[in-house]
């Protein structure tokens, strides 16, 4: 009878251990699906029933981190460590918290202690160290890769998810090629990992490679229709392209994620996408009231700010944006948020110049060149609106530096911007000359480069004594009068001729030469009164004082032609 009772106890102990293991696996699966609230509930139940279960405590902390609740994760790890201060997984967990707190040295010490306690032979501990350094922005992906690759060499290794994590480490290093190889390795070990397809698609999407990323997302859906993150990526992709498709993917996403009143945010967000701005604001306010101001996620205020801005209600947009920045954690703030704030300030009279610093911050944080170029253009347009000539040049130069393949038009516009800014800051004339020196070197057959070098030289050498403008105006006249754009460049050719009238009169004291240039102007435009009058004065007898009369028609600085686009200049492909 005792033997039977003993066997029964053993049976129930084994069954209970299997049940706990199964429940732990269930919680991990929720983590995989990014259903962190469900994962939290599972692990909390296990840990409450068995406070010494360090694995449950570790994963409970991970669930809290997935929910963005770092303080709750810290509390779990600190509490668990009080009863088991040498548990390797818990040491890794508290090390991850220290990464969030920018205590990288302390965190690495924790990781190394955990690895040492397991003699660097525990795959799960090495995997946890890798995850920590990848999931936290302050983590070290190179260090993560070292530990993850070590794990793949250990006896008993067969975890395909570890290769997903290796791929994430490469991705954090911006090494898309090795990341994709790692994801494919994971799929070879477990073809059911939809996350591998999804993450591969995300890499191709950053490259704007639609032929690859959409099929990868579709393959993820086909592999596992319950994998929610891929539906969210598809929702975001179609958000501004096809609201109906976006809405379909949104419904699919919501159907497979944890229930939460805040899921209504996505539905409201679609109101914004479909330009129902007033409705988006009204429904946002209703959701805030329903969930509570202390519970609602800060993103709702960002949505309101965008909606108010779209309605040109900049005062309320600013108030909503301020609320977002006040409530959002640093990791929730993205470069576009600073761009939004700048856009709002740019629309408020008296606050426009404050926008510059927020454009600057957005540009400095954004890793995508295309986004930086767009933001820089907004800053340049604001400078134009404000008549801030040095500002225009400043932003256009930054934009030129950011563009992967700037065109001749970009270079031209930068040079003109510096020239225009010369009347505010004299040094800008030298910058303009420098830019157009590069321009003429790259595009020697385009006349306008020489024209603006001539204008810049004339503005620097206002007395013409050094003749800085001479060779450039001569080259410009040569190209402009025999090229296909001779008619459209006529007004600028006249300015170059006027320069030489002044040079001949003031510097060379050569009336004959000056008259020849008057004739050149009149040949282009017989009705040019200024040239005709000057020729008349130059041809008149010398005054009784013995000197030639100075013509009022000669200007040392001619008026600037309107327009900044080079005539006949086409961007190089």
What is the residue-wise DSSP string for 287-298? HHHHH-TTTS-T
Q: What is the pLDDT of residue 20?
A: 52
- Residue 452 resides in a domain: yes
Q: How far apart are CA 454 and CA 493, in angstroms?
A: 11
- Residue 550 resides in a domain: yes
pTM listed for this prediction: 0.80
Q: What is the pLDDT of residue 21?
A: 59
Q: What is the pLDDT of residue 540?
A: 86
**How many domains is the chain built from?**
1
Rg (CA), the chain: 35
Phi, psi of 265 (to 5 degrees): -55, -40
Q: Who's near 411: CB < 8 A, 6+ residues apart?
A: 400, 435, 438, 439, 442
Q: What is the pLDDT of residue 541?
A: 77
Q: What is the pLDDT of residue 543?
A: 56
SS3 state at 387 = coil
- Residue 567 resides in a domain: yes
Which residue's structure tokens are 């020196």? 437
Q: How far apart are CA 57 and CA 79, in angstroms?
A: 9
User: Taking a C-beta distance cutoff of 8 angstroms, is the pair 196, 228 a contact?
Assistant: no
- Residue 506 resides in a domain: yes
User: Taking a C-beta distance cutoff of 8 angstroms, is the pair 304, 292 a contact?
Assistant: no
Terminal CA-CA length for the chain:
91
Q: How far apart are CA 168 and CA 135, in angstroms?
A: 9
Q: What is the pLDDT of residue 487?
A: 87
Start-end of H helices in 483-546: 490-502, 511-524, 529-539
Q: How far apart are CA 81 and CA 73, in angstroms?
A: 12
User: Taking a C-beta distance cutoff of 8 angstroms, is the pair 230, 220 a contact?
Assistant: yes
Each as own residue / partner, the long-range contacts of residues 328-335 (CB below 8 Å, 24 or more positions apart, any chain) are: 328/298, 328/299, 328/302, 329/68, 329/298, 331/68, 331/137, 332/68, 332/298, 332/299, 334/365, 335/361, 335/362, 335/363, 335/365, 335/366, 335/371, 335/375
User: Helix 54-66 and helix 2-32: axis angle, to 10°?
Assistant: 20
Q: What is the pLDDT of residue 22?
A: 61
CATH number at residue 508: 1.25.40.10
- Residue 391 resides in a domain: no
- Residue 488 resides in a domain: yes
Region for 559 from its dihedrals, namely left if φ exceeds 0, alpha if ψ lies in -120 to 50, beta otherwise: beta
DSSP structure string for 54-117:
HHHHHHHHHHHHHTT-HHHHHHHHHHHHHH-TT-HHHHHHHHHHHHHTT-HHHHHHHHHHHHHH
Domain span including residue 554? 428-573
- Residue 255 resides in a domain: no
- Along the 573 residues of the chain, how does pLDDT read in single tens digits? 443 334 334 333 333 444 455 699 999 999 999 999 999 999 999 999 999 999 999 999 999 999 999 999 999 999 999 999 999 999 999 999 999 999 999 999 999 999 999 999 999 999 999 999 999 999 999 999 999 999 999 999 999 999 999 999 999 999 999 999 999 999 999 999 999 999 999 999 999 899 999 999 999 999 999 999 999 999 999 998 999 999 999 999 999 999 999 999 999 999 999 999 999 999 999 999 999 999 999 999 999 999 999 999 999 999 999 999 999 988 899 999 999 999 999 999 999 999 999 999 999 999 889 999 999 999 999 999 999 999 999 999 999 999 999 999 999 999 999 999 999 999 999 999 999 999 999 999 999 999 999 999 999 999 999 999 999 999 999 999 987 778 899 999 999 999 999 999 999 999 999 999 999 999 999 999 999 999 999 998 765 444 444 443 444 443 343 334 433 333 333
Q: What is the pLDDT of residue 566?
A: 38
User: Taking a C-beta distance cutoff of 8 angstroms, is the pair 138, 100 a contact?
Assistant: yes
Give the largest Cα separation in the chain, rounded: 145
Q: What is the pLDDT of residue 9?
A: 40
What is the tally of helices (H) and strands (E) in the chain?
29, 0
User: Taking a C-beta distance cutoff of 8 angstroms, is the pair 82, 51 a contact?
Assistant: no
């Amino acid at each position: 009878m005792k033997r039977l009772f003993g066997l029964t106890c053993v049976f129930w102990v084994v069954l209970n251990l299997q049940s706990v293991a199964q429940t732990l696996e269930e919680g991990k699966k929720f983590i995989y699906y990014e259903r962190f609230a469900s994962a939290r509930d599972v692990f909390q139940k296990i840990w409450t029933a068995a406070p010494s279960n360090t694995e449950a405590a570790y994963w409970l902390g991970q669930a809290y981190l997935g929910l963005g609740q770092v303080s709750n994760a810290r509390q779990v790890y600190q509490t668990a460590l009080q009863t088991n201060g040498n548990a390797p997984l818990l040491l890794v967990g508290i090390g991850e918290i220290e990464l969030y707190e920018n205590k990288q040295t302390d965190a690495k010490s924790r990781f190394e202690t955990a690895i040492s306690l397991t003699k660097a032979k525990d795959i799960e501990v090495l995997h946890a160290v890798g995850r920590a350094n990848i999931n936290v922005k302050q983590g070290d992906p190179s260090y993560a890769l070292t530990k993850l690759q070590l794990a793949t060499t250990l006896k008993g290794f067969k975890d395909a998810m570890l290769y997903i994590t290796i791929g994430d480490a490469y991705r954090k290093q911006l090494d898309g090629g090795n990341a994709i190889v790692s994801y494919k390795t994971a799929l070879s070990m477990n073809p059911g990992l939809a996350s591998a397809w999804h993450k591969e698609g995300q890499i191709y999407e950053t490259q704007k490679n639609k032929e690859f990323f959409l099929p990868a997302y579709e393959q993820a859906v086909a592999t596992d229709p319950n994998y929610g993150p891929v539906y969210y990526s598809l929702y975001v992709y179609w958000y501004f392209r096809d609201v109906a498709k976006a809405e379909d993917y949104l419904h699919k996403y919501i159907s497979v994620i944890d229930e939460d009143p805040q899921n209504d945010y996505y539905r409201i967000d679609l109101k914004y996408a479909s330009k129902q701005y007033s409705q988006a604001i009204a429904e946002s306010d209703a959701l805030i009231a329903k969930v509570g101001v202390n519970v609602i996620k800060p993103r709702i205020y960002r949505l309101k700010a965008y909606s108010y801005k779209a309605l040109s209600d900049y005062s309320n947009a600013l108030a909503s944006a301020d609320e977002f920045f006040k409530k959002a954690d640093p990791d929730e703030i993205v470069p576009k948020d600073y761009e939004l704030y700048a856009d709002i300030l740019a629309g408020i009279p008296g606050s426009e110049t404050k926008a510059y610093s927020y454009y600057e911050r957005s540009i400095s944080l954004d890793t995508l060149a295309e986004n930086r170029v767009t933001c820089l253009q907004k800053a340049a347009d604001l400078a134009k609106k404000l008549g801030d000539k040095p500002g225009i040049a400043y932003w256009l130069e930054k934009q030129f530096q950011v563009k992967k393949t700037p065109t001749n038009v970009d270079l031209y516009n930068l040079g003109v911007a510096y020239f225009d800014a010369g009347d505010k800051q004299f040094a800008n004339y030298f910058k303009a000359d420098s830019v157009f020196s590069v321009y003429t070197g790259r595009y020697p057959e385009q006349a306008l480069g020489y024209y603006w070098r001539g204008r810049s030289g004339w503005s620097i050498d206002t007395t013409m004594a050094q003749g800085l403008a001479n060779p450039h105006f001569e080259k410009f006249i040569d190209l402009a009068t025999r090229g296909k754009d001779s008619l459209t460049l006529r007004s600028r050719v006249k300015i170059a001729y006027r320069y030489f009238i002044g040079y001949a009169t003031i510097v060379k004291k050569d009336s004959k030469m000056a008259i020849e240039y008057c004739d050149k102007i009149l040949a282009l435009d017989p009705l040019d009164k200024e040239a005709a009058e000057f020729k008349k004065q130059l041809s008149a007898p010398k005054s009784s004082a013995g000197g030639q009369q100075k013509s009022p028609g000669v200007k040392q600085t001619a008026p600037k032609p309107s327009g900044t686009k080079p005539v006949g200049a086409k961007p190089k492909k």
